[in-house]
Structure 1
């Protein structure tokens, strides 16, 4: 059984979850998210927990089990706490309020904005410039070796 899929999801105070006809709606203090889930997955909402079960052990159901549980857990986290990601800016010429070398973005109740921020300036391996996640290590590459010998 999937280690991720079998863990129950706790519903925090202030969050309401409705599940009807394979459509889940999660409403909380940071907003509202809804999603259609795969009809084969058995999802039960009891009290303040959500459990996801699969009907059989075939490969498709095994892969959907953990995926469905992760999607539902992310919805609950998004409307209750929100998603935050700390980014480091290295050699980027954007105008932003930053402390030293770090810029922290708080991203509401969904996280596509974070992916857009990283698209502005991906970390590049030659000079190490760009926007990267805090603690991320960018492998540095050697530049052109032919010009140094002359």
Structure 2
């Protein structure tokens, strides 16, 4: 059984981690600041460039919260130092994306364009090359928020199973169904 919660979370000199009396962990780094409320039954200790999460008992609830809390803190440290990035590609004839006034404008085969305004913490950019699919890059410091924004953009036109047209993650494999066969 994995014991991910027992591992300390190391952080470098450019990152500062603080914990207040309500178990709110604040991580500050070169890319930004993140805060997370950790369950009050767990204890979070910061010492010698490491964050250690301890659980009071071995009950199932405490074991699961232990690993979860440690992973959340690890993601926060990684986010403020390196950041997170997800890339989506648009496939389909006439499907395109472009940035206009801070909003993502998508033409996805509907009768109208779709305007998506990303949250203030997230930066969205579009790279389009002639003859290539448009690639949308979603970047930010919060792993959860980057994933949510990417999933929301993908949900505007998920890839359909017959031709594979739509918005997909870069490198995502879509299993295509066989179409109808004409009977003669």
TM-score under structure 2 length normalisation: 0.70
Q: Are the aligned partners of 1:2 and 1:62 in contact in 2 as well (CA < 8 Å)? A: no
Distance 2:152 2:84 in 1: 14
1:103 is aligned to 135
Structure with greater proportional strand content: 2
Counterparts of 2:58 and 2:79, CA distance in 1: 30
RMSD: 2.2
Q: Are the counterparts in 2 of residues 86 and 102 from structure 1 also a CA contact under 8 Å? A: no
Question: Per-residue deviation at 1:84?
Answer: 0.8
* 8 Å CA contact retained: 1:107, 1:114: no
What are structure 1's unaligned runs of at least 5 residues?
Answer: none
Q: Residue 93 of structure 1 corresponds to which residue in structure 2?
A: 96
Match of 1:72 in 2: 73
Counterpart Cα distance in 2 of 1:102 and 1:4 = 38
Q: 1:55 to 1:102 in 2, by over 3 A?
A: farther
Give the match for residue 18 of structure 2: 18
Q: TM-score, normalising length from structure 1?
A: 0.84
Q: Which runs of 4+ in 1 moved over 6 A?
A: none
How many residue pairs are counted as aligned between the two chains?
148
1:34 Cα deviation after fit = 0.9
Deviation, 1:102, is 5.8
In the TM superposition, residue 36 of structure 1 has moved relative to its aligned partner by: 0.9
Q: Is the 8 A contact 1:30 1:79 kept in 2?
A: yes
